[in-house]
Amino acid sequence: MEPTSDAEDHEDVEARLALMLEAAPDAIRSSTVRRLLASEGEWQATGIDLLEGQEVSLLSHGILWIAREANMGVNSNLALWYRIGDGPIAKVGGATFSFMAERSGPLFLINHLAGQWLDEHGGFDPASVLPEGILSVAVIVWDGSVDEGLAALSGHDTTALVAAERNRLATERPVPTGWTPLWRVGRTSIFCEEITDGPPRITCRCRADAGILKYPADMPLTAETEIAWSWHVAALPSAVAEDQAITHDYLSIAVEFDNGQDLTYLWSSCLAVETSFPCPLPWWDKHETHIVVRSGTRDLNRWIEERRPILSDYGKAVGGETPARIIGVWLIALSPFQRGDGACDYADIRILDPAGDMLIGPHA
């Protein structure tokens, strides 16, 4: 189904979800169908209390509009978040998603743009609430396993959401070893580790999606500290300059610092090499700076080795008081705004320093 924000469409979807849930009562411990309006601007109680270890599925339909007049919006893969009690927030991995409750407590949901959080428990600036967007969500607590429950529902589903979740579970890949999704952006299936005839690599395949992986680090930042990596970019997610919010689709590798800033090394479609600019997105504009290290399509589809002086780049692109330490390396992929495709492989990522190098990987 194509995403929409029309109330009539959501009424139809919600009615079909309710009928499906009624058709397989033996597989379901509890369930509900909820409509999440972005404009509500608060976490919504589902009325379901979870017990630690219970398996849950969220089947959703809809869109969160960033700028409807520009046809810019994101699907629930970047808008549907959940929280158990006062625990940490988590984002779904797609329009459909299943998880095991890591704690007991009431289940809350919200329709809110990924990245716009003040803390890991779901606090946010009221100014980050978007005025338009509807998600219809079926919440299912299974009496047995997710696989058994979805199989029981499959013959009664007229929304295609059950089939989508069964397929997602069957093809799901773990994130690369040592990396974790950045909590502020949430879970992602964009990245995975590949071992082929060549060197081990992390692959990134991003289509109308966004994700950030973090590899933790703790090392001093000196004038000699450098970051080095190899990448093979096959497709850039934007054909126009990425320095505006509505075209901010890109691939990059980033260094995170102890002062709350990060510097990302961006492959641009057309901006000149060494161009730098603050992220054009709210909140990120105060914390993230991009520097173009490669531009255009000439070097696509071949491995490129990069090496950058981090402190010097920080001084030129960010300025101000310099950070003391590096606390993480990120892989970033965005393509939600123009809904294009980005494809990139990474290998041999390292932080280099005379006091000792840090091998981040993957390495042969």
Q: Which residues of 321-339 are buried (b: 16+ CB within 10 A; e: fewer)?
A: eebeebbbbbbbbbbbbbb
pLDDT tier at 1 (50, 70, 90 boundaries)?
very low
Check residues 195 and 17 and name the one with the higher pLDDT: 17
Q: Taking 90 as the threshold, does the pLDDT of residue 226 lie above it?
A: yes
**What mean pLDDT, rounded, does the chain reach?**
94
Q: Give the architecture-level CATH label for domain 7-171.
A: Sandwich (2.60)
pTM of the model: 0.92
Mean pLDDT, rounded, for 207-212: 94
Q: Sign of the C-alpha dihedral, residues 95, 100, 102, 103?
A: positive
Residue 2, pLDDT score: 39
Percent of the chain beyond pLDDT 90? Answer: 90
CB 200 within 8 A of CB 344: no
- From CA 188, how far away is CA 359, in angstroms rounded? 23
The angle at the Cα of 318, spanning 314 to 323, to the nearest 5 degrees, equals 55
Residue 361, pLDDT score: 76
Q: Taking 80 as the threshold, does the pLDDT of residue 131 lie above it?
A: yes
Tokens of 225: 């500290």
Q: Taking 80 as the threshold, does the pLDDT of residue 36 lie above it?
A: yes
Q: Taking 70 as the threshold, does the pLDDT of residue 261 lie above it?
A: yes
CATH of 180-359, one of 1.10.1760, 2.60.120, 2.60.40, 3.30.565: 2.60.120
CB 124 within 8 A of CB 112: yes
Does an H or E element contain 20, and which? Answer: helix 7-22
CB 27 within 8 A of CB 20: no
Residue 54, pLDDT score: 98
Could you give the residue range(s) of every CATH 2.60.120.430 domain in the chain?
7-171
Percent of the chain beyond pLDDT 70? Answer: 96
In terms of DSSP H, where are the helices of 93-252?
146-154, 161-171
Query: 145-197, pLDDT tens digit by residue?
Result: 999 999 999 999 999 999 999 999 999 988 999 999 999 999 999 999 986 66
- Across 113-117, 154-158, 231-235, 359-363, least confident range: 359-363
Mean pLDDT, rounded, for 269-291: 96
